[in-house]
Structures are given as C-alpha cells and as structure tokens.
Structure 1
Amino acid sequence: MMVVRGNFQTELEQLKNMLLELGKKAETAMNRAIEALKTQNVDDAIHIIEDDAEINVLEDEINDLAILMIAKQQPVATDLRRIIVALRISTDLERVGDLAVNIAKSVIRIGDGKLIKPIEEIPRMAAIAQKMNADVLEAFYKEDVDLAKKVAEIDDQVDDMYGRLVQELLELMTQNPDFIRQITQLAFICRYIERYADHATNISESVIYLVKGKHYDLNA
C-alpha cells in the first residue's frame, strides 16, 4: 500500500511539473506574439502558429496522465481535487497558447504596412496580463491563496485598458476608413489579451479551490 501511495505522490509531482512546463510554453508563445506585433514580423508570427503543436501535445500528455491516475488509484478528497485542478489549469494554459496563435494570425493580416498609430498601449496591457500569468503559476506552485487573489484583482486593470483601447480604435475607424481592416485586427488583439488575463483569473480560482476546497467566482 505504501508503494502504491509513493507512486501516486510521484505522479502528482510529475503532473505539477508538466503543468508548470505548459505554463512556460504558453507564456513564451504570448511573449513572442506581442513582440511580433511590435516589430510587425510576419515570419515570427508564422513560427508561433507552427510551434503551437508543442503546447497541444503537452496538454494531451497531461490529460492522459491525469485520467490514468484516476483510473489506477481511484483517489478521493484532496488527491482527486489536485487532479481535477490540473485538468482545469491545463485547459486554461492551452487556450493561452491558442490566443497567442490568434494574435500571430492578426499580425500576419496586418502585415508590415504603415500603422494607424504607434503600437504602445497594447503591449502595456499585455505586460500586465503576462505578469498575472507568471504570478498565478507561482501561486499554483506554492499553493498561495493570497497571491492567487491578488492576481485576480489585477484583472480589473486589464478590463479597463481593454475598454479604453477599443473605444479609441472605434473612433479611429470612423475617421480613417482606409485603415478599417488593420484597426479591426488591433481590436481583436486587444480582446485576445483581455481573454489572456481572464485565463489567469480562472487559474487563480483553481488554486483557491485546490487549497480551500471551495469554488470562488473571481471574474464577477
């Protein structure tokens, strides 16, 4: 029995490490996507789309391990909660990778033509969301509820910036009809970054559920 328990703890640690690796891959993809936007580098954007397969494969491996652990060990209470949380977090992180791909696709559509205005505010909003993602992964690793809550509180800043940026882009659209396609893509990118922050908040909720065993809606 002790050997079985020891194997289970080893697999739990493996699951945790795989999640952290997935988080780093998703974070790297998002960093690259924002950099491609700032430099209007279409080649980099194409590589981001191609590299997304690595994130998808790792998510599948996490899901397979989690399901195998449930089938083999039939865990209950806290142990089952850890596996459920791992599945939830892996989904959020995989979607962050998808958002990076979406930004890369928008970068390709924008191309290297003249921009309607300098790309400054969007990277600033992205930097806040990126910090949220890094902090929430630390909260997960340390099972730090206080840090998880702080991450969720920052989401309001991203929401406010998103609202202001979209309003500004809509005004630019009415004044510059020749730039409608580009402005539309920039608005999409703003939305993708806002969703990025939402996924960090989702992970905050998962961390709190992991530690406390209670569900909290931090996106409200």
Structure 2
Amino acid sequence: MNDSRKNFHLEINELENEMLKMGSIVGESIRNSIKALVDKDIALANQVIADDDIIDDYELSLEEKCTKLIALQQPVAIDLRKIIVISKLATDLERIGDNASNIAYKVKKIDQEKLIKEMNSLPKMTDLVVNRLRESLEAFVDMDLKKAKKVAKSDEDVDVFDEQIVAELLTIMKTDCDKIEQGVSLMFISRFLERIADHSTNICERTIYMKTGKMKY
C-alpha cells in the first residue's frame, strides 16, 4: 500500500474517531436531560442546551471533512459508501442532540413542580435508548452486520415504554385537568426518547448499506 493510500485510510479513521466523540457527547446529553428532570436540576438542563451547539459544530466539521475527502481522493465502492455514511451518521447524531435539547427545554418548563407521577419508566427507557445508540455506533465501526440487524429490530422495546408512559399520563390527565400541562410536557419527553431510538435504527440501516450497498435488513 502506497503512502497516499495509507494517508487516505488514516483520514477515514480520523473521521470515525471524531464521529465517536460526537456520539459520546450526544449520549451524555441524553442521560443528562433525563437526570435534570428527575433531580429538578435546571442548571444541568441548561448545560444540555448549551452542549447542543458543540454537537452542531461536530456535524458541520464532519460534513466538511467528508466532502473534502471525497473531492480530493475520489474514493469508490465501500470506501465511498463509508465516507457518505459517516456524513449521514453525523446528521443523525445532530438530530439526536436536538431531541436531548428539546427534553431539556421541557424540563425547564416543568421547573420545580412536583411530578404528577413517579417517572421511573423514563430513566429505564433512557438506559435502553443510550445503549441502543452505543451498540449502533459499535456496529458501524466494527462493520458488524449481525449486530446492526439485531439493534435495528429491537426498536419495539422502546415503543412499548413510550406507549405505557403515554397511556398512564392520559389516565391522570383525564381525572385532573390541573395536571394536563405537565402531562403534555412529559408525553413530549417520552416521544423525544422514542425518536432518538428511531435515529439509532437509521444508523444501523446505514451500516448495512455501507457493507452491502442495500438498505434492507
């Protein structure tokens, strides 16, 4: 392998590492947004919102580097697909960051109000969502089709949490009109987590495309 080719693959590895750093920040934002809700920590909610700017900067940086690498190296086949997928993954991660920020804004709206119900399901749902994100990124880096397909098909567990939370909140809101405003905010928080899980599925589908050239799993 000549020096030019070695440098090309080093640059791809650097893109992967930057994408994983972005993923780490995103995962922390998800956890912190729900921790802020449980602990009534508005300062932490503000930190999640501020960190969204860092996540946005990662997306712009990765898109720029991917575009430049394609233009200068003119890669083909799986190398080209890999660079394109990294750019797409950056977009998915940025949107996940937006959802974490949206949760933080809802937390600020609830502020110091006593929660209308014990939200034990949300931290459990968050653990599931963050683990799915981590596994989807691992599948990409390892080019592990088996793991990518498994994670992509495990979205139902998150959907079950969301459906249960929404049903419980609707029951409370029907019996007490004073709890409707907070109930709606909590429903949105659950739905934002569900959307994050959908983006993890997108990451898995893109990994499958990178390896096979097809989106189906």
Residue aligned with 1:33, SS:
helix
Q: Cα offset for 1:187?
A: 0.3
5+ long unaligned stretches in structure 1: none
State the one-letter code of the partner of 1:214. Answer: K
The match for 1:30 is 30
Q: TM-score, normalised by structure 1?
A: 0.95
Residue aligned with 2:154, SS:
helix
Report how many aligned residue pairs link the two structures.
217
How far apart in 2 are the matches of 1:185 and 1:43? 19
State the one-letter code of the partner of 1:129. Answer: V
> Cα RMSD over matched residues?
1.3
How far apart in 1 are the matches of 2:82 and 2:47? 34
Quick check: 1:17 aligned with 2:17? yes
Q: Cα offset for 1:6?
A: 2.0
State the one-letter code of the partner of 2:39. Answer: T
Q: Where does 1:196-215 land on structure 2 (aligned, <5 Å)?
A: 196-215=196-215
Q: TM-score, normalised by structure 2?
A: 0.96
What CA deviation, in whole Å up to 9, does each residue of 1:147-180 have, x standing for no partner?
Answer: 1111112211111221121122112111111111
Tell me which stretches of 4 or more aligned residues in structure 1 moved more than 4 Å.
none
Quick check: 1:2 aligned with 2:8? no
Residue aligned with 1:131, SS:
helix
Q: Where does 1:142-181 land on structure 2 (aligned, <5 Å)?
A: 142-181=142-181
How far apart in 1 are the matches of 2:148 and 2:78? 19
State the one-letter code of the partner of 1:4. Answer: S
The match for 1:137 is 137
State the one-letter code of the partner of 2:71. Answer: A
What CA deviation, in whole Å up to 9, does each residue of 1:43-98 have, x standing for no partner?
Answer: 11011111211111111110010000111111111111011111111111111111
5+ long unaligned stretches in structure 2: none
Q: Report sequence identity in percent.
A: 41
Moved more, 23-32 or 162-171: 162-171
The match for 2:100 is 100
Q: Cα offset for 1:37?
A: 1.2
